[in-house]
Structure formats: C-alpha cells, structure tokens
Amino acid sequence: MIKKFIDKLLGTGKGGKPNFGKRREVGAQEHGIDPSLVDERALNVVHTLKEAGYEAYIVGGAVRDLLLGLRPKDFDVATNATPEQVKGLFRRAFIIGRRFRIVHVVYGRGREHEVIEVSTFRAYMDNAAAEQVAGNEKTSRSELAGMKHAVDASGRVLRDNVWGPQEEDATRRDFTINAMYYDPETQTVVDYHGGIKDAKKRAIRMIGDPLTRYREDPVRLIRAVRFCAKLNGLGFSLESKTRAPLIECLSLLADVPQSRLFDEMLKLLQTGHSLATVEQLKALGLAEGIYPLLDLVVERAESSFVKAALQDTDRRVGEGKPVAASFLLSCVLWSDVRDGWAGRLARKEHPFPALQGAIDDVFDARIGDVSGRGKLGADMREIWMMQPRFEKRVGQTPFTLVEQPRFRAAFDFMRLRADIGEIDVVLADWWQEFSLASDDLREDLVAQLREEQHRGQRRVRAPRPEKGSALEAPQPAEAQPPAGDEAAGADAPRKRRRRRRKSPGQGQGDTRPAAE
C-alpha cells in the first residue's frame, strides 16, 4: 500500500518503471472538436498512413488548439511507421534531423508550400530501459549504439531515438496538453495523462515528476516559458508543481549545447508572443540565466527601438507574414553597433571600415560563432551596412540599393528608426515612395530631390557638424564605400559621379548625417 502511494507520488509504476498512464479514448460528443478545423493535408497524411496499415494520429499542440476551438497553424502527425516507411509512401517527403529523425511531407511549392511533420512513436528511454532493450537478442548494432549511456549522471537524456509504443511516446512528451492523439477519421482523442481535463482547467502541467523531467531535458524550462506566453492570453498558467523547480533547474542549461539554446531563444521570440514572453520570463524569475543574448533582449525590451521591433514581429506573425531572426536581432544589437561606430569615427576612422569594425566587435562580444558567421549573421551585416547608404539619394545609388536582396529588411529597420525619432521621417517616406514607384517615377523623384538640394545650397550654406562628433559619420555621402556585393564594382560608379559633379546644375548630394 505504501509502495503504491510512493510510486504514485513519484510518477512511477511497478518495479520503479515510469507510469505510462491509462489509455482513454474520448469520442466526439465529449471532446467537441470541429472536424472542419483540420487541415486537408494533415487528413491526407493520416489517411495514407492508415491505408498502408499503420497507426496515425494528429498530435501535440494541434490537438490542444482543436480542443479550444482554434484552427491550428501547424499540424504534426505521429505514427508507428519508421521514417523510411513514411518516406516511401509520399512523393515529396524528406527525412531530417540527427537527434530526432522525422519526416517532412511537403505539399505545394514556393512560398505557398505547407509541411506536415511526421514523427515515429518513441520509447521512454532511461538507463534501466536501455539496458533491458540492449539485452534483447533482436536488437541491432545500430540500435545498441544509440542506447548506450541513454541518461547522464544528472539525469539528462542523451539518446532518445528508439522506437516504441504509443503509451511510451505519450510519456516522453513534456506537458499533458501536448500529449494527446487525435484520429480525424474516427474523431477519437486518445489521452493517457489527463490532457483534456487540464485543457478545460487551463493548466500547463508536466507529465510525471517535474524535477525529474527538467533534468532529463533542461530545455523543457524554456518550453514551459514559451507555452506560458503563448497560452496566457487564453487563461492558461503553469501548474504550481510544474512551476516550483524552474529556478532550481536553471543551472542545468549550462550543459545544453549553445547552438540548441540559440535556436530555442529564437523560438521564444518568433512565436508571435515575444512581448508576453519577456513578461513571463520576469514573472517566473528567469529574466537572467537562460542565454546571454536572451538576457539582453529582456533588458532592452523597454527601450523604444527594441520594443517597437518586438511589437512588429508579433504583428507580422499574427498576420501570417514571415519573420526573420536576423531583423529582430539586428534591432536588439543596433545600439551596440551604433555606439561602437561612433567611437571609431571619433578616432578618425573612415565611415564604412569603422562600421564594419563595429559590427565585428558586436558579433565577437554578443553572438560568437553560434550563428554570427552563417546566413543569419550575413543578413544582419547587410541590414546594418545599408543604413548610411540610405542617406545618399542621388546618382545611381538609389537604383542599385533598391535591388539588393536585403533591401526590404534594411528599409523596415530604417523605418523603425524613423518611427522612434532616431532619423528624419522624411527620409523614410522618400524611400518608401521610391521603392514602390515605377522606373520613370523613380527618375523624377531623384531629379526633383537633386533640384531641391541645388536650390537649397544656393540660398544657404548648411552648418558643418562639430568636429570629432559622431554626427560626422556618413559625410560626405559620395565618399562612403559601397557595402555588400557592390564593393567589387565600386570604381566605375565613383568615376561616373565625378563626371556628374563637373556638369552644371548638379547638386552635391544629401549630406545629412545619420542620426545617433
């Protein structure tokens, strides 16, 4: 009797094994899911797998959203078919991942394509279970290699890619509201851990003992924050036992690879609830200690520029528009780049090399090698390097700049700067009109601006900025070297500009400095 009570308290079953829960099948009359909310492509994946003789269910957050009467944005499917078996059933299917091998079934092409993620039921794997499976004569060498040292001394799961039954797959999942399985053909929900009950109570509850589960995978701390922020608007909150060990387990994140923490940080900020995430991190006592760059986001979230960037990201996600991590991180780190640039200019460095050097310093100090040398880092550099080039609106510069691949992101960045008063809003308005205009109208806009500058220079001489001031940054605009891909072909445009300066009636260009 006492042993049963302890097993229940610890979330374990007979012999100390995990409690895999009791299978409960709930019909449509009780769960009330509207089948019209299910995506046709997810239905097709489930039907194809079942027709081939496999089990298949919609799983995870999609089931939770369906229970709440919401149309899920993404659909995941779980099955007892292996990745290779799944791939063989679909024309466009790709096996991805190392730690977790899953299949992406792709529908459509280009930007309109949709992906249904299909995973195989996995076994609940601790060291005891690994030893038991490894003793089975039918276990292959590759499976044995994957099961050695399944859990380290702290309880963290190291290897978790062993197929298993549905009941163990449900226990592997973190929260009860994400561990339900929905068969859209029979309209049945399979629930092992009271997920339907918790969804009605608006409770985010960990399956099993929370402390043990956080030790198995410390990233569950971050997932707890993410679900809190995402579902808080629907009245959900962390159940008290799930919340209690969060701060105690924070130190466990030190053993998680930095690349994985970086990816989890981006998920926190790109789910459409970044401002709510910042508030949840503060409320849960996790404003510091998860990841240095995330700490910086929380610290700067109250600044007008970063707050505007977070709001813009949430808005775009809410409207179903794509968001880029490079844009948001560029906004978060802009003050570092801007201040470093000003310091280098004060030491009489040339504007563009000074900006490049400031960017290098920021990557070294804030990002390192996690993603700062890949595509994300390259996009951030282009966004920053284009900012002084927006100041020059004569000659061929506007025409070449607007054709750059990262122009839209750089323009949106500049627009945010104008919205908070960092630069003149007239500059942002001009570029917006120019970017949307026809070729002829663009020529007229440049000619009109040139004439206005010419008239202004004949009437009054613009005051020179104080010597040594950071406001000297982009002067003169014509002297600034081009950024990015234009660097190799910079000589020819400079020769053409020198010839234009000899022509009568030509202005000297917009010499307004970039605001600091």
Positions marked catalytic: 74, 76, 174
Q: What is the 3-state secondary structure (H, E, C) of 252-293?
A: HHHHCCHHHHHHHHHHHHCCCCHHHHHHHHHHCCCCCCCCHH
Q: What span, in angstroms and rounded, lies between the C-alpha atoms of 90 and 64? A: 27
Query: Would you call 74 helix, strand, or coil by DSSP?
Result: coil
d(CA 82, CA 190): 21
168 φ, ψ (degrees, to nearest 5):
-75, -35
Neighbouring C-beta atoms of residue 203, cutoff 10 Å: 19
Question: By C-alpha distance, which of 245, 209, 221, 216 is closest to 153?
Answer: 216
Asked if 192 contacts 170 with a C-beta cutoff of 8 angstroms, the reply is: yes
Task: Classify burial at 484, counting beta carbons within 10 Å of its beta carbon; exposed 0-12, middle 13-18, buried 19 or more.
Answer: middle
* Residue 46 near residue 59 (C-beta atoms within 8 A): no
Mode of pairing for the β-strands spanning 203-204 and 237-238: parallel
How far does Cα 202 stand from its chain's mean position?
A: 25
Secondary structure (3-state) at 57: strand
Do the beta carbons of residue 409 and residue 379 sit within 8 Å? Answer: yes
Q: Where are the alpha helices (DSSP H) in 52-193?
A: 61-67, 83-87, 127-134, 141-147, 166-172
162: left (phi over 0), alpha (psi -120 to 50) or beta: beta
d(CA 345, CA 356): 12
> How is residue 188 annotated by DSSP?
E
**The two three-digit tokens of residue 389, written as one number:** 């080039």
Do residues 46 and 68 lie in contact, with contact meaning Cβ atoms separated by under 8 Å?
A: no
